[in-house]
Amino acid sequence: MQAPMPPPQAAASPYQPPAASMVKGSMYSFQKWLMIGAALLVFATVFAQFPLSSSEPDMSDYDMFDEKEEQQYNDAADSFEGQVALFGAMATILQVSALTMLGYAFFREAQEDEFIEFVNLGGTIDLSGYTVHDNAQERHVFPQGTILPSGGVLVLFGGGNPTGVFGNAIVQTASAGILNMNNAGDFVTVYNTNGEIVLTFDIEPLSNNPDESYTRYPDLNLEPGDDGILFYQHAGIGEAQGAFYSPGTKIDGTNFN
């Protein structure tokens, strides 16, 4: 039996995702990691140059025929070489840390832009507890209170903090923090609360352009066209006017309802 829809709740915006789907640690943000990574690169450069601020001991400043001064020179040379090695190692650690942070930030930023768009062509459905998986693992659990009305739209992003109207769609982000739809091919499965498969989607045939979404054409078309194709690259459709994606809306940017 279909659970009744809960009473409407006041919200600042109908486009806000359910709170449970947006619970994420405060340790990461693209801007924060970008700034920290850039700062570490600067520090790495400074550390690498630091020993040069004190000149290398000059043998001509010492009487190498004097055993005591020769020892002083050797000690000074060893100390300088030790500083170069120490600060060089620290600079390398900082550089590796910086590049790792920058690489992760750009990787995660790209992952957060991934999205799956669901349009309900049937009756009102309570998606609470339904899960989305790829070939590797569970990527999202729809939080309690996720009610998708007839004709309603839900957009599931990989992460971040999506802002925009998105055609009045319900907007959520992957509870696992990432969708990770593999550009080389992947398989998306949606399970209900009984663990039964309710929807599958094979990404592999749609992997020509990883920077562009794929869409049914015409909108919500359930049968392949005369060319046998059901999903098309978004920007190649006339109504898209060159746009690479239209999360929550039709191809031309208008609302589904």
Torsion sign over Cα 225, 229, 234, 238: negative
End-to-end Cα distance, the chain: 26
pLDDT at 180: 81
* Model pLDDT for residues 69-123, shown as the tens digit of each residue: 777 777 777 777 777 777 777 777 777 777 776 665 555 555 677 899 999 999 9
Q: What angle separates helix 30-49 from helix 67-112, to the nearest 10 degrees?
A: 160
pLDDT at 12: 30
* Model pLDDT for residues 24-58, shown as the tens digit of each residue: 344 556 566 667 777 777 777 776 776 665 667 77
Extents of the domains making up the chain: 30-111, 115-240
| CATH number, span 115-240 | 2.60.40
159 or 206: which leads in pLDDT: 159
CB atoms within 10 A of CB 206: 21
Question: Model-level pTM?
Answer: 0.62
Residue 208 has pLDDT above 80, yes or no: no
Residues, the chain: 257
pLDDT at 6: 34
pLDDT at 174: 93
Residue 211 has pLDDT above 50, yes or no: yes
Cis geometry, peptide bond prior to residue 6 (ω within 30 degrees of 0):
no
> What band does 63 get if pLDDT is binned at 50, 70 and 90?
confident
Q: How far is CA 5 from CA 22, 114, 147, 160, in A?
A: 22, 29, 7, 28
pLDDT at 79: 78
The strand pair at 147-148 and 138-141 is best described as unpaired
Query: What is the Rg, in whole angstroms, of the alpha carbon atoms belonging to the chain?
Result: 28
pLDDT at 232: 87
Residue 22's contacts (CB-CB under 8 Å, 6 or more residues apart) are 161, 172, 173
